[in-house]
Amino acid sequence: MRFFIILLLALSTTVLRAETVAGHDLSNAEGLVQDMSLKLNRGVFNILTGWGEIPRQMIVSGKDRGWWAVLPVGIPAGALMTVVRTATGLFETGTFFIPINDSYGPLIDPAFVWQKSRVSGNRSQDSE
């Protein structure tokens, strides 16, 4: 009998606590799952397309500094950004269920290699 009372108390506590999921109301749970899914997708795409930083940085270097900078500046910058974007993708994929800085937003700008940067005043990223 005592077992059933403890079980009933445990179940009622669980039902009462089910109103919140990780500090969010269940009404916000769908948005929370959508944010997690976006972070997971962004991480996977950045792992797969991190190499795209090489041609991207070659184009950016050519527009900013002239055609002479495409090879000596664009390729090393692209190689470095490939490592950064791929590592960021690995981190976001591994931690897609954890908000960083209370947000599921991107860690680098732009979020994907094919997007323009949202940072104003950064000519190298905005000029694409």
Please report which confidence band the pLDDT of residue 15 belongs to, taking 50, 70 and 90 as the band edges.
Answer: very low
Amino acid identity for residue 18 in this structure = A
Is the distance from CB of 65 to CB of 73 less than 8 angstroms? Answer: yes
Provide the token pair at 114: 């094919």
Beta bridge partners of residue 25, listed in sequence order: 20
For the segment 19-65, what is each residue's pLDDT rounded down to a tens digit?
445 555 556 888 899 999 999 999 999 999 999 999 999 999 999 99
For the segment 40-52, what is each residue's pLDDT rounded down to a tens digit?
999 999 999 999 9
To 5 degrees, how large is the angle CA 100–CA 102–CA 108? 45
Of residues 60, 55, 53, 52, the one with CA closest to residue 126: 60
State the average pLDDT for the chain.
82
pTM (predicted TM-score) = 0.70
| Every domain of the chain and the residues it spans | 30-126
